[in-house]
Structure 1
Amino acid sequence: MALLAGCLNVLSFAPFHFWPLECLGLALLFFVAIQSKEYTLLRVALLGWSYGFGAMFCGISWLIILMTRYNDLPLWLSLIGLALLASYLAIFAAIAMLLGTYLQRRWKLSAAITLLMVFPAIWAISEWLRGWVLTGFPWLASGYAHTASPLAGYAAVLGVYGVGWISAVIAASVAVTVVQPKVWKQMFALIVLLLVIGAGLRQYAWTQPTGQTISVRLLQGNVDQNLKFDMEHVNESLRLYHDMIVAEPADLIATPETALPLPSSQLPIEYLPSLNAFTQASHSRLLLGLVTHDGPKQYSNSALGFGHEYQTQAFRYDKHHLVPFGEFIPFGFRWFINMMKIPFGELSTRAELPQAMQVKDQYVLPNICYESLFGEEISQQLRMQSDGKNAVASILLNMSNLAWYGDSIAIPQHLQISQMRSLETGRPMLQATNTGATAVINAKGEVIAQIASQSRGTLSAQVQGMRGVTPYILYGNASILALASLSLLLAFLSGFIASIRTKKLTNKSLVS
């Protein structure tokens, strides 16, 4: 049952968007765990692991495309690789169920207290841990399922893990209703209250428009990944993006991640100067994705910015949260990179705090591909910019190349992740991708413009920047960690008080 609930969990995320299923699946896991009084802790951990394995194996099954289509691995070996990754990621759900059950038994908690106060808190903490242990892999965190649900309103206050915590409380309320049907009215009222508060928070404007709207052109070259680094097609790709860039001026023109297939040191000598000259003559600004080469074995996944404000020195942003195996090589895994034929197996990054690029009276903060998963890092950048020494970004920009995953559910899942970043920060997010999803997301997390995936084209739009800070920008994940800790403390006190009352009743009985 736990494995099946985990597998069905994928339907709660984009492109399916059946978000109630996320709550119901978690409710089933909680119910099965709370009924396990005769189980060992290892058996309870297996329940959590089964749920987590099903959720991750089905949810990130698009990795099969990367391994088979683009890296020539046999299907059987790719399935083993996917199963091993899903097995590791499922450990966090296993730990959550094991620890929750252990605390219930240790503190002698009632089923209702355990379900409402212990399981949701530890679930939120386990997802947060999955987001940073070993550099983190927070894909498919529970909160992402709720970008279009009433719970989306909590994102600006508590972030994606806070939304996941609220959804876990709702799941726990459903489980309590099954365990103790007499309290169904109270649980129903709690669920309605949480949904209403979330819907109300979504209507509150944490940020306000600033400056004038800017015209934006987001380029989607739709270059096949099999051809992108093929030397016979390199000139074709360079010409393609050059022509797409100079086709029309705009306040901001953005290409996908590594749109140029050659490192900066290998580009034709006139290539970048000609693009810079175009931006100066047309009063445009350009953010160009490429790999910069700074010296022997020093390559960075970068975005270079050209425009009036950067006539003598190009703006530069280096991707700083690198992908294991794809952009840095964990110790002892060089053989794996060689087998997978990854063109840039090990990249470097600069330590400086990323700055925002000025575009007229707006400031655009880039992030590259995988970095959009880490809301805490983006909020921290905004928080540090708000110290008055640097311009605070009013628009976010994600530059990605998801062609590795074909036309799979990875594309809408990644777009949903960017929607969550807009909800958390109260700022629009632009997505410029190679094959999809190239889109414009407003400050409310709504996709207001998008071009079809697996097609070549340009998305033109007017975008309004936003100023101000949300509670999540101010406090990041500290808020949800504090609330989860408080919930556990209250559960402990509840068990402690209950044990004292039990002792008093026992003593009175003995005296009688």
Structure 2
Amino acid sequence: MTKAFQTNAPQGRFLGAHLFIAFSAGIMCHFSFAPYQLQWLAPLSIAILFAQLTAFDQLSTKKNFLLGLSFGFGLFSAGLRWVHVSIADYGGLPLPISILLMAILALYLALFPALASAIFGRYRNNHLTHNAIFFSCLWVLAEFVRGKVLTGFPWLLLGYSQTQGLFSQSAAIIGVLGLSLVVVALGCFATNAIKKSKRGLLAVIIIVAFSIGLSRVSTIQTLDKQVDFALVQGNIAQSAKWQQDEMWPTITSYMDLTRHQFTADIIIWPEAAMPAVEAWVSDYLRLMDSAANVNDSAIITGIIGRDDSINHLTLANNIDQVSNQSQQTQYYNALITLGNDQQKQQEQGSYTRNHLNRYYKHQLLPIGEFVPFRSLLQPLAPLFNLPMSSFSRGEWAQPNLTALGYNFAPAICYEIAFPELVRANMRSNTDFLLTVSNDAWFGRSIGPHQHMEIAQMRAIELGRPLIRVTNNGVTAIVNPQGEIEKKLPQFTQSILREKVNLVKGQTYYYQYGQLPVILFSMFFAVAIGLVNRFR
């Protein structure tokens, strides 16, 4: 038996070795996510962690906390190493400071598996099956809480490791947190099986069979009707994105790419493709609206929205003034529709400034789009050199965007990582999921690939084709099974042209969301914890 799975190690002497093994298992776990997608490493890494957590005969909250912290720090420091790219390259901070900030973020996120491990250490017993179920449920609850606390950061949930795996389609029933439960349970029961527990081996077989069975249940039917999309990837350099003298060259570049695509039904530009406040370019937007209308088409584009219902004295003339005025005037990271919104042929386009066919981003990126605890942190904001860090928040649930009579459930950038937010914005008559982003912030790192993987999971959960349009990749079309039908190479200026079939039907996840998995996890975590507490 390997050292990783030893169960009767001395309680103090070799703690350092156990912490190193847990840290290494966390690093190994990040290879189960995109772009590596070695799915089997996720349950294996959990098996190693679980072996460390149960290696001490005496219950120890502190030791288990440190083991969970080591695993989490390994996972997040390796899996989120792309964070320092945006901080160092575009935030203007020196590399050592950006790495330090990334390490602090990783340590914060590691607190959640650490707390799950500590509670497990406090209330576990010597019953192998109970321990496996108990820890699996605690892990899922920790992931759920991580997605809520301090606005939430639900990145690298273990369920995402199975987006292209054998169990992926079961997410249409149990969601990404349900897949996390499957992954952790497999790892825990595999550890029990290695300890020669027949129940552990039987549990592994049952979990695999059950998950495969769930994956075979489908409530989504593909229709013959198709919609012709043109997705525009502008590949605008991030260093030039928010420069005032680059605003019109950027808009012109997108329009030049679009000129020969008006034969498409719907043309989509990425997040903030128009790096301007809507009021600055309203005349140009009306021209685009007319051009789309004449060609029986529609354009969906990212732009900076402004709430004109709020009185203000002056109109900002540049991006810096937008940030300075934002405390008096509300600005939004927005999507709007130009051209024909209700049907293929209309007498005129639908666009007027502040029309209701728009979407305002709800889940804002801390520091990047708003400053949390403003009174405390506002003095630090200039250090990050981020041009648009004072956006206001849109509503949690908003009407679908419409284009040519088709309904889109939108998510801008970071929002796609919040399953319940995307679900709240889907309706029974939603035709497509739409996510737009600007991943140029993360350079040539693994970040954009993880972002793409998360979007694929949303397509599975909600059973709708997903349209993803980005500034520099990954721009792609994803089917309701989470498979990429077509994509553009990263860091190229190009058009993705593809016809996408409509579908009908509703997934169980759309109907019930995360609630069944959360209730299941809470019930068994509390029940087993109480039984062990009073035994």
TM-score (norm 2): 0.87
Alignment of 1:102-113 (within 5 A): 102-104=122-124, 109-113=125-129
Q: Match of 1:251? A: 265
Equivalent residue number for residue 466 of structure 1: 503
How far apart are residue 492 of structure 1 and its match?
5.1
Look up the match of 2:288.
275
Say whether 1:88 aligns with 2:108: yes
Does 2:212 match 1:212? no
Contact 2:220 2:503 in 1 (8 A): yes
What is the CA-CA distance between 1:307 and the residue it aligns to? Answer: 2.5
SS at match of 1:326: coil
When residues 63 and 352 of structure 1 are mapped into structure 2, their CA distance, relative to the original with a 3 A threshold, is closer
Q: 1:71 and 2:88 equivalent?
A: no
1:420 is displaced (CA, Å) by 0.4
Counterpart contact for 1:113–1:491, Cα < 8 Å: no
Q: Residues 42-441 of structure 1: matches in 2 within 5 Å? A: 42-104=62-124, 109-178=125-194, 180-183=195-198, 186-210=199-223, 212-249=225-262, 250-267=264-281, 269-295=282-308, 296=312, 297=326, 298-309=330-341, 311-313=349-351, 314=355, 315-331=357-373, 332-351=376-395, 353-360=397-404, 362-382=406-426, 385-386=427-428, 392-441=429-478
Task: Pick closer, same or farther for the CA change 1:337–1:211 going to 2, 3 Å.
Answer: farther
User: Higher mean Cα deviation, 354-363 or 326-335?
Assistant: 354-363
Cα distance in 1 between the residues matched to 2:395 and 2:64: 43
Q: CA deviation at 1:328?
A: 1.3
Of 37-46 and 92-101, the range deviating more from structure 2: 37-46
Deviation at 1:69, TM superposition (A): 1.2
Distance of aligned partners of 1:144 and 1:203 in 2 relative to their CA distance in 1, 3 Å threshold: same
CA distance in 2, matches of 1:171, 1:165: 10
- Contact 2:92 2:383 survives alignment (8 Å): no
For 2:402 and 2:384, locate their aligned partners in 1 and report how far apart those are by CA, in whole Å: 39
How large is the RMSD of aligned CA atoms in angstroms? 1.9
CA contact (8 A) 1:147 1:420 kept: yes
Q: Give secondary structure in 2 for the equivalent of 1:214.
A: strand
Tell me the alpha carbon deviations over residues 222-253 of structure 1, each in whole angstroms, 9 at most, x when there is no partner: 11100111223222101101222232121111
CA apart distance, 1:489:
5.0
2:15 maps to none
Q: Any idea what the Cα deviations from partners look like across 1:339-392, whole Å, max 9, x if unmatched?
A: 11111111113337322233445321111000000111111233xx34xxxxx2
Q: Which moved more, 1:167-176 or 1:288-297?
A: 288-297
Per-residue deviation, residues 297-342 of structure 1 (Å, max 9, x unmatched): 2110000112323634552111011111111111111133211111
CA contact (8 A) 2:362 2:396 kept: no
Instruction: Give the secondary structure class of the aligned counterpart of 1:206.
Output: coil
Q: Is the 8 A contact 2:32 2:161 kept in 1?
A: yes
Matched residue SS, 1:37: coil
5+ residue gaps, structure 1, are 387-391, 500-512
Aligned partners of 2:58, 2:131: CA distance in 1, in Å? 17
- Measured at CA, do residues 352 and 281 of structure 1 come closer, stay the same or move farther in structure 2, by a change above 3 Å? farther
Describe the shift of the 1:182–1:473 C-alpha distance in structure 2 as closer, same or farther (beyond 3 A).
closer
Unaligned runs of at least 5 residues, structure 2: 1-20, 313-325, 343-348
Helix, strand or coil: the match of 2:245? coil
Q: Distance in 2 between matches of 1:210 and 1:393?
A: 14
Task: Give the secondary structure class of the aligned counterpart of 2:292.
Answer: helix
Partner AA of 2:518 in structure 1 = L
Structure 1 CA distance for aligned equivalents of residues 80 and 296 of structure 2: 42
CA contact (8 A) 1:156 1:424 kept: yes
Could you say if the C-alpha distance between residues 376 and 423 of structure 1 is closer, same or farther in structure 2, counting changes exceeding 3 Å? Answer: same
Does the CA-based 8 Å contact 1:34-1:111 persist in structure 2?
Answer: no
Once the two structures are superposed, residues 87-107 of structure 1 have per-residue CA deviations (whole angstroms, 9 ceiling, x without a partner) of: 111100110000112121xxx
394-403 or 113-122, larger mean C-alpha shift: 113-122
Query: How far apart in 1 are the matches of 2:26 and 2:137?
Result: 19
